[in-house]
Amino acid sequence: MRIGFNGREGLVIHNVNYNDTGTVRPLFYRMSLAEMFIPYGDPRPPYHRKHVFDSGQYGVGFSTNSLNAQLDCIGEVHFFNTVLNNKDGEAQEVERVVCVHEEDAGILWKHTDYRTGKSSITRSQRLAITFIATVGNYDYVFAWHFYQDGSIEFHVKLTGILSTHLLAVNATPAGHGSIVFPQINGQYHQHFFCLRLDAEIDGNQNSVATSDVVPGPGETGSTINPYGQAFTNERTTLRTAGQARTKIAPERSRTWVITNPQSVHPYTKQPVGWKLMPWASPPLLLRNDSPIHPQAEWMDFNTWVTPYHDDQMFPGGYYLNNSGLPEWVGRDENANIENTDVVLWHNFGLSHVPRVEDFPVMPEEHVSIMLKPYNFFKENPALDVRAPHFVPSQNFNWSSEK
């Protein structure tokens, strides 16, 4: 892969490939955090104006930290510097904006033979590519994690301080916040993140389908479902940009599968793919007739799929002027997204009801999404990861005697 950085998006990952036993197979041409939106839920002036687009208005990259070489990333670490412009338009170097290191990620795979008791196990070492941005009161830790089984994770940690305000004596948050300290209100709010994923799964000719797990047909006692326990996988190919405006469905275990119709798996006889596994995100709670909504209309769906265009980089448009995805798709809802060069946009996030424990400095909350191979390899690609070598442990005396 190739690592880039800019003032608006921060870290950008380019040209992600997988070396499959000597064959380099492309996966994603460009992956980035394209936008962030943080709306607050207190309708009383002046708090009704608290809604922030951190990327489009402030620039996540411009808000980046120079990483602490001892504490932000630990172990065997490589740091990248970058060059950004300051407010006068002059170039300035920013040191240690991105760190790259490996870290233990628990068990990679394991099996114990129930007959002999012997087990095979190996540990997961993931490659973490991380940067941290402080946008006003919040600190965001953004990390792309690359695993040995081909999985890719985008992981966000939220910390920093709450946006609070002072209450008059005996006043209450009126149902729109939490008292986190005497006369201090921590307002309810939401955090949303939009990923832009320019896919090239085994090449540029890609399609996208929703994959839902649903009950099987037939009533209990029928010949096709005699015991009533049947369920099946329902795949729906998204053929147009209009049809691709879709939402998460946790009750259906919904995922989105990006496939390459030109690359057929030798076992399944179906196109190879990569799937997006979403976070159980809340919906955007702005009403559709809110004057704020047009700027955030791209949040009306969790996933959009559009044909690739050079100038379509940000879901709310370049200037956040009520354009972006709703305008592009609305212009041509029948735009073909089947067996072509596509971009998948995914929105996810959380609703934050502050706790007393979030004050004065908030311990981290996190959200993440996974991208996993879906019938892409011929077997578990992590079978060649060697089991770790352990030094025999010391014999401990568990006696209470000293």
Known catalytic residues? 54, 138
Say if CB 260 and CB 201 are below 8 A apart: yes
Cα–Cα nearest to 349, from 269, 298, 281 = 281
Distance CA 260, CA 240 (A): 16
Distance CA 72, CA 139 (A): 12
SS3 call for 89: coil
SS3 call for 59: coil
CA distances 207 to 258, 275, 365, 382, 385, Å, are 6, 12, 34, 26, 31
Cα–Cα–Cα angle for 126, 131, 133, nearest 5°? 145
- How many other CB atoms sit within 10 Å of the CB of residue 88? 6
Distance CA 46, CA 29 (A): 43
Cα–Cα nearest to 156, from 195, 120, 117 = 195
Distance CA 227, CA 221 (A): 6
